[in-house]
Amino acid sequence: MEFAEKVGLVYFGYVDQRNDDHRLVRGLTVSADHRDNHYCIGTYHDYDVTFVERTDTISFPGKASKTHDWLIMAFDLRTTIDLPHVFIGLHSHNDTFYAHLFTKFSNLAKVHLGTFSVYPQEFTQRYTLYAPPSEAISAEILFDAGVAKNIGDHFGNMTIEVANGCVYLYTDGQRPTAALLEKMLQYGVWLATTIDRQAIKLQAETKNPE
């Protein structure tokens, strides 16, 4: 509540995902059984922002169940350009998480980076970029080596998704401290601004391929 008041968001607390009175935060963590708390909405640096703390237990046949406590910030993109579904995941995510992810989004596959330039170790040692195979080049344009370096240098244990016209930032198993939430907010606005800019580049590359 203190964080929401400080940055100008409206705090709602617990919300029922089956209640139509609020906008459901979607993305990879949405499920039929998740529980959302500390729901906040508002605008920051001209971007519409939604925050929620989401708890869910992920199960997959043959693998141990895992309870996740996600902190999620969603930023509405301004671009009207159709963007690919992209997930940037940490190598440290467990097998159950990835098994569930690829069952839910069977079209996602690892993007083998390097079409345009060499990606920095700061990024590749910690993250893998996933997108539909037909959109791999588009994903590399959106998240080029320069963008990837900033993510690798600064985003810590955050993971990233682009879907549904939004950028989603996730942390798992971390307390929602003021410092962490402010970092997610600042980095999320930077990333949303960057993707809006890269989307223009993507559209130009698509229309005028070399």
Residue 49 carries which DSSP code? E
Computed from CA positions of residues 26, 29, 33, 36, in that sequence, does the dihedral angle turn out positive or negative? negative
Rounded percentage of the chain residues whose pLDDT exceeds 90: 57
Is residue 173 over pLDDT 90?
no
Give 107-116 pLDDT, tens digit per residue: 999 999 999 9
Query: Which positions ≥6 away from 41 have C-beta within 8 Å?
Result: 9, 10, 12, 22, 23, 48, 49, 50, 51
- The full set of domain ranges for the chain reads 2-207
- Nearest to residue 25, comparing CAs of 10, 40, 12? 40
Both structure tokens of 118? 């060499």
- Nearest to residue 140, comparing CAs of 161, 112, 180? 112
The reported pTM is 0.89
Q: 66 falls in which pLDDT band (50, 70, 90)?
A: confident
Q: Are 60 and 102 in contact (CB under 8 A)?
A: no
Q: Which residue has the higher pLDDT, 33 or 96?
A: 96
Is residue 20 over pLDDT 60?
no
Phi, psi angle pair for 195, to nearest 5°: -65, -40
Residue 133 carries which DSSP code? G
Q: Are 139 and 84 in contact (CB under 8 A)?
A: yes
Coil, helix or strand for 129?
A: strand
Coil, helix or strand for 146?
A: helix
Q: Are 35 and 58 in contact (CB under 8 A)?
A: no
Q: 165 in the Ramachandran plot: left (φ > 0), alpha (ψ -120 to 50) or beta? A: left
Q: What's the confidence (pLDDT) of residue 113?
A: 95
